[in-house]
Amino acid sequence: MARILFHCVLFCFAFVFGQKDDNIITQTPSGRFVGSLMTSRRGRPIHAYRGIRYAQPPVGEMRFQPPVPIKHYKHVVNATAEGPACPQPAPGYLLDEDCLRLNVYTPGRLGNGSLPVLVYIHAGGFYSVSGRSDVAGPQHLLDKDLVLVTINYRLGSLGFLSTGDIHAPGNNGFKDQVVALHWVRDNIASFGGDANCVTLAGYSAGGVSVALHTVSPMSRGLFHRALSMSGSPYSQIPFHSNLLSLAVKQARLVNCSVSSTAELVECLRTVPWRVLGYSLKGFQEFSIDPILIWTPVIEGDFGQERFLPEHPLEIIRAGKLYSVPYIVSQTRDEFFWEAFLVLNNSIYRTLINEDYYKVAPSAFLLPSPSDLSAKALRREYLGDRDLGNTDIDYVDLGKLYGDAVIGFGAHRLANLLAHNNKEPTYYYEFDYIGNQSHYVDPTTGKPTGVAHHDELIYLFSLPAGFEPIPVSDSRDSFMVDKLTDIFYNFARTGNPNSLLDDKPVTWPPIHPSNRKYLRIGDHFSVHTNLFEHRFRVWEHLYPIEYII
């Protein structure tokens, strides 16, 4: 009987998938995966396995529960097509609550369980974007001999609801990421990847996540190098033990009872995922702010496995930072463009001038009580003046937005690591304006700064929003080659400097008393003390001990 079944499985498999040339098959200890072929920027074949479920669909009773890994696939997995993104407000886009998927891209035959693996955690403020190939495509990085894995994790309330008790302890989106890392550990060798050479990279919310994985007991040993681009958990935003007020806000937005956390969670479990995903706008208070809503929580012990059992600084103080070679970065201008949204709108402009102390906590993510900080920042960045729709005010408010949302946190992360990471930490500033950007002037259609997310244009193909960058002698093409080279070297050796060519610039690690960083522009150059004169006021308002 077993033998017949076995033959049937083989037969059915051959029958269903046929012998089509563009289908490729990989057998791992967990199951069998059918993928498809793609082509890299320089024309190399990519073996792509997309939309693979790594955890049980988190739906029905499993909504708001920790992820349940899939350790064994009963049937052949059809990984030839892209899976859905997690629920978010994105009309016309493929979304589903059954979104715990990952994509694996390998150079095919080159691999033999020995290629470095790069796992990418996407950006999007913990409430948007995905790891799909239209927003994190493999065509640039797969010109290198590495295995790329991009992952989804639950977003918004579906991923980060936290009532601070047994009903919703929180951090499920991070636990999803951990389960994806388990999947990589258990399966990646069959795709040519080295499970002992995993680089965990993330942008923005993904960069925050990466830093948290270096302090979480759940993530230890699952990766060997880390990379946080424009994202850090060590900003002025405090760690709470629950996000109860967000949970209540979410409940009210969808007409759920808030009389007890049990009822609240039970009711939210019955709300269609689309309604939850689309309720994001209800969390905005001023312009598009707060741009960060859900945050990691320090979990109480309710019998669950905890992603963050203590404050990260306590974990570091206890000597439990997971030390790996690390790259930290920020872009030159980050969220400068929020200044245009505010100052070019007469309602917001009036509000920020006349109701500054009410607006500032949302805009600049200030913990309460916020008045003293808001006052100091207004003096430092805005010269205590009323803001108009003028170039100089765009620049000053843009700097405040950039530092508040990203810059200060990245500075903190780099310096905490400089003091406490036992492996080298490298710090870079992305200072390159190419043909395209995540912010362009609405009149000219041209970039005017180095916006948040802009490196992603060179590291990944982003067909959902950006033109491809053909191989040529253009500056943009050169930047694709340089950035993918840095990432490949780092993934391979833990050192971003190429060991082979004699580059004019060597990028040294940051040291507590010699805070060097690489400026990546048309030329590469090494400097010290990145934007530190601007971060002095923040350090004063939100002091921490770096030497732990």
Ligand X SMILES: *[C@@H]1O[C@H](CO)[C@@H](O)[C@H](O)[C@H]1NC(C)=O
- Complex with ligand X: residue 183 or 439, whichever CB lies closer: 439
Query: CA–CA separation, 425 vs 546, rounded Å?
Result: 15
| One residue of 340, 466, 542, 546 binding ligand X per CB under 6 A | 340
Contact status: 73 vs ligand X (CB under 6 A): no
Contact status: 16 vs ligand X (CB under 6 A): yes
Tokens of 25: 């098959």
Contact status: 362 vs ligand X (CB under 6 A): no
User: Catalytic one among 128, 162, 190, 204?
Assistant: 204
Given the rule CB under 6 A, which of 77-85, 158-166, 167-175, 505-513 is the region that contacts ligand X?
77-85
Active site residue 323: no
Contact status: 263 vs ligand X (CB under 6 A): no
Number of residues that bind ligand X (CB under 6 A): 18
Contacts of residue 253, Cβ cutoff 8 Å, sequence gap at least 6: 279, 282, 283
Residues in 472-491 that interact with ligand X by CB under 6 A: 474-476
C-beta of residue 270 within 8 angstroms of C-beta of residue 63: no
Q: How far is the CB of 23 from ligand X (least distance, A)?
A: 8
Q: How far is the CB of 388 from ligand X (least distance, A)?
A: 13
Given the rule CB under 6 A, which of 309-317, 471-479, 499-507, 531-539 is the region that contacts ligand X?
471-479
Query: CA–CA separation, 352 vs 2, rounded Å?
Result: 72
Tokens of 335: 């969220």
| One residue of 28, 30, 40, 80 binding ligand X per CB under 6 A | 80
Contact status: 103 vs ligand X (CB under 6 A): no
Cis check: omega of the bond before 470, within 30 degrees of 0: no
Contact status: 544 vs ligand X (CB under 6 A): no
H or E, element range at 329: strand 326-331
Q: How far is the CB of 242 from ligand X (least distance, A)?
A: 23
Contact status: 17 vs ligand X (CB under 6 A): yes
Cβ neighbourhood burial of 475 (10 Å; 0-12, 13-18, 19+): middle
* Exposure on the CB side of residue 254, measured as CA atoms within 13 A: 24
- Complex with ligand X: residue 166 or 254, whichever CB lies closer: 254
DSSP 360-421: HHHHTTPPSS-HHHHHHHHHHHHTTPPP-SSHHHHHHHHHHHHIIIIIHHHHHHHHHHHHH-
- Complex with ligand X: residue 473 or 502, whichever CB lies closer: 473
Active site residue 452: yes
Contact status: 190 vs ligand X (CB under 6 A): no
Residues in 399-428 that interact with ligand X by CB under 6 A: none
| One residue of 27, 39, 112, 350 binding ligand X per CB under 6 A | 112
Q: How far is the CB of 158 from ligand X (least distance, A)?
A: 15
- Complex with ligand X: residue 174 or 394, whichever CB lies closer: 394
User: CA of 458: how far to CAs of 146, 255, 452, in Å?
Assistant: 17, 43, 13
| One residue of 94, 254, 464, 537 binding ligand X per CB under 6 A | 254
C-beta of residue 136 within 8 angstroms of C-beta of residue 203: no
Tokens of 48: 């792509």
Contact status: 390 vs ligand X (CB under 6 A): no
| One residue of 398, 434, 494, 496 binding ligand X per CB under 6 A | 434
| One residue of 19, 255, 444, 513 binding ligand X per CB under 6 A | 255
Cis check: omega of the bond before 290, within 30 degrees of 0: yes
Residue 262: how many other CB atoms lie within 10 Å: 14
- Complex with ligand X: residue 82 or 539, whichever CB lies closer: 82
Residues in 269-328 that interact with ligand X by CB under 6 A: 275
Looking only at the bridges linking them, the beta strands covering 101-106 and 45-53 are: antiparallel
Letter for the amino acid at 285?
E
Query: CA–CA separation, 44 vs 36, rounded Å?
Result: 14
| Binding-site string for ligand X from residue 138 to residue 177, where x marks contact by CB under 6 A and - marks none | ----------------------------------------
Active site residue 334: yes
Q: Residues for the chain: how many in total?
A: 548
Tokens of 44: 């190399």
Query: CA–CA separation, 485 vs 492, rounded Å?
Result: 10
Residue with tokens 């988190």: 58
Q: How far is the CB of 279 from ligand X (least distance, A)?
A: 7
User: CA of 330: how far to CAs of 1, 103, 165, 349, 413, in Å?
Assistant: 61, 26, 35, 27, 11
- Complex with ligand X: residue 78 or 362, whichever CB lies closer: 78
- Complex with ligand X: residue 27 or 474, whichever CB lies closer: 474
Q: How far is the CB of 20 from ligand X (least distance, A)?
A: 9
- Complex with ligand X: residue 320 or 475, whichever CB lies closer: 475
Q: How far is the CB of 19 from ligand X (least distance, A)?
A: 12
User: Catalytic one among 47, 140, 452, 453?
Assistant: 452
Residues designated as active site? 204, 334, 452
Residues that bind ligand X (CB under 6 A): 16-17, 78, 80-81, 112, 254-255, 275, 340, 344, 434-435, 442-443, 474-476
